[in-house]
Amino acid sequence: MKQAWKLVEADAYERARKQALTHRPGKPTRTDWIMWQKEMEKTAAGYDVSDTYEWTVDADGNNYGCLFLTVDPDDDHYELRTGINTYEEPVEPPHYHADIDVDTPTFLRKQLEEENEQRKHDFFTMKGAARGMAENLRDVMNEQYFSQLEHSVVGYKNVTVLQIMKHLDTEWVPMNTKERRAIKKDYFKPWDVAGGVALSKFTKALDERRIELHIHNITIEDEDAKEHYMVQMYESNAFNETDMKEWEDKTEEEKDDWVVMKRFFRKKMALNEAYNNNNEGNSAALYGSSANVTEQEEKLADMGDQIREYIQQLTGAKENVPPPTNHTSTASINKATEEMNKRMSKIEELLTTLTPNVCQQQESWRRRR
């Protein structure tokens, strides 16, 4: 092998080694196995070898890179994850392109040589990635969990990621009831709207996670997935009463259609976001900012203080007005009555102002919850 291709392989190897897996002490668990699988998939997908291996790109243009190093392409799981069923096992390209002979025109010879060089580049990139990821996987566990794969002469030199993962799957981390229950519970976790998780991301995760779990022989039933989705739509408070009534008014067939369901709420979410963005600054129409809430609370508190002050004045608590006696004049009584009527009018005025503000504030708080 030329020095140049050694450098290509070494570079790919070093890239993989820089993306170490999460270390877990002690005996691996099925949860660890799944975690390592996901971490290696991200690393593998980062290598673009599509110039040579066109089957690494799906019909939508998604480039899965060297994912075939971590998800067995000879198993239907690879097709489930990628939609690709045209995998061909990579082989080292020949030193010269097979179509070049003494009669090959110069321009075509150059083209074929460049094509063969690209094939070599992609092949040795794949080799380096495979070696680096296999070492990463061995680094995160004690040797006793993969020592059976060691060759008496070359050691672990030719042991692949897939071989180690299959060995762990059958010998050390078979799925048990407790872990199966925990993994399914994680699937049904709430939509974190407050944390800024977009509806599109939440929905996509539900679809992709179902496929991943199916690979681990965990089945999420269609009805359970749709029920979880609808519960989150209601509990998120991201949609108003009109939106939800519009959904409930659909036919049972439409409400049972996963595609229709996702499209409906995705469209509503987009409309609500567009409205909120265009109406930014109009706090009465939005969910409300913390500054606006504080301002409203302060206004309500001021009104409450004023009412308490007038009630104290009315009862004489603040001015210590002495109770009337038999010697109190008619003029004094009339004056006191007139003053009391003024205070009552003021209280009624404040209550009239306060009531709609309280109702409006309560409705605002209810919507934000």
Which tens digits make up the pLDDT trace of 162-195? 999 999 999 999 888 888 888 888 899 999 998 9
Q: Is the pLDDT of residue 73 over 50?
A: yes
Q: Is the pLDDT of residue 325 over 60?
A: no
Domain-terminating residue out of 148, 171, 194: 171
256 to each of 221, 222, 236, 239, how far by Cα in Å? 13, 10, 20, 19
Domain check: are 186 and 165 in the same one?
Answer: no
Q: Is the pLDDT of residue 304 over 50?
A: yes
Q: Number of structural domains, the chain?
A: 3
Domain check: are 11 and 104 in the same one?
Answer: yes
Domain check: are 7 and 69 in the same one?
Answer: yes
SS3 call for 163:
helix
Domain check: are 150 and 246 in the same one?
Answer: no
Q: What is the pLDDT of residue 97?
A: 87
Q: Is the pLDDT of residue 350 over 80?
A: no
SS3 call for 301:
helix
Domain check: are 50 and 84 in the same one?
Answer: yes
Domain-terminating residue out of 255, 278, 301: 278
Helix axes 106-139 and 3-17, enclosed angle (nearest 10): 40
Q: What is the pLDDT of residue 178?
A: 82
Domain-terminating residue out of 278, 311, 346: 278
Q: How confident is the model at residue 233 (pLDDT cuts 50, 70, 90)?
A: very high
Domain membership of residue 33 (yes or no) is yes
Q: What is the pLDDT of residue 272?
A: 84
Residue 93 DSSP label: P
Q: What is the pLDDT of residue 181?
A: 86
Domain membership of residue 65 (yes or no) is yes
pTM of the model: 0.62
Domain check: are 308 and 238 in the same one?
Answer: no
Domain check: are 262 and 299 in the same one?
Answer: no
The mean per-residue pLDDT over the stretch 123-128 comes to 97
Domain check: are 66 and 84 in the same one?
Answer: yes
Q: What is the pLDDT of residue 322?
A: 54
The mean per-residue pLDDT over the stretch 277-287 comes to 55
The mean per-residue pLDDT over the stretch 303-307 comes to 63
Report residue 302 as tokens. Answer: 């001021």
Q: Mean pLDDT, the chain, as a whole number?
A: 83
Q: Is the pLDDT of residue 123 over 90?
A: yes
Bridge partners of 155? Answer: 151
Domain membership of residue 288 (yes or no) is no
Of 23-32, 204-213, 223-232, 287-296, the poorest mean pLDDT is in 287-296
Q: What is the pLDDT of residue 182?
A: 84
Domain check: are 14 and 141 in the same one?
Answer: yes
Name the one residue in this structure whose structure tokens are 């593998």.
44
Q: How confident is the model at residue 312 (pLDDT cuts 50, 70, 90)?
A: low
Q: Is the pLDDT of residue 291 over 90?
A: no
Instruction: For residues 215 and 165, give the distance between their C-alpha atoms in angstroms, rounded to a whole number.
Output: 13
Percent of the chain's residues with pLDDT above 70: 76
Q: Which of 90-99, 212-221, 317-326, 340-349 has the highest mean pLDDT?
A: 90-99
Domain membership of residue 285 (yes or no) is no
Q: Which domain holds residue 317?
A: 293-368
Of 141-145, 173-177, 207-211, the poorest mean pLDDT is in 173-177
Domain check: are 155 and 9 in the same one?
Answer: yes
Percent of the chain's residues with pLDDT above 90: 55
Domain membership of residue 211 (yes or no) is yes
Domain membership of residue 41 (yes or no) is yes
Beta-carbon-side half-sphere exposure of residue 136 (alpha carbons within 13 Å): 26
Which has more confidence, 336 or 272?
Answer: 272
Name the one residue in this structure whose structure tokens are 């291709």.
5
Q: What is the pLDDT of residue 179?
A: 80
Q: What is the pLDDT of residue 31?
A: 86
Task: Please write the tens of the pLDDT for every residue from 236-281.
Answer: 999 999 999 999 999 999 999 999 999 999 999 998 888 777 766 5
Query: How many CB atoms lie under 10 A from the CB of residue 18?
Result: 10
Q: What is the pLDDT of residue 9?
A: 96
Of 75-84, 209-218, 332-341, the poorest mean pLDDT is in 332-341
Domain check: are 145 and 9 in the same one?
Answer: yes
Pick the closest to residue 181 from 31, 15, 11, 343 (CA basis).
Answer: 31
Q: What is the pLDDT of residue 354?
A: 57
SS3 call for 103:
coil
Which has more confidence, 135 or 281?
Answer: 135
Q: Is the pLDDT of residue 92 over 70?
A: yes
Which has more confidence, 361 or 153?
Answer: 153
Q: How confident is the model at residue 290 (pLDDT cuts 50, 70, 90)?
A: very low
Domain membership of residue 53 (yes or no) is yes
Domain membership of residue 324 (yes or no) is yes
Instruction: For residues 343 and 272, give the distance between their C-alpha atoms in angstroms, rounded to a whole number.
Output: 47
Pick the closest to residue 221 from 264, 266, 258 (CA basis).
Answer: 258
Domain check: are 195 and 154 in the same one?
Answer: no
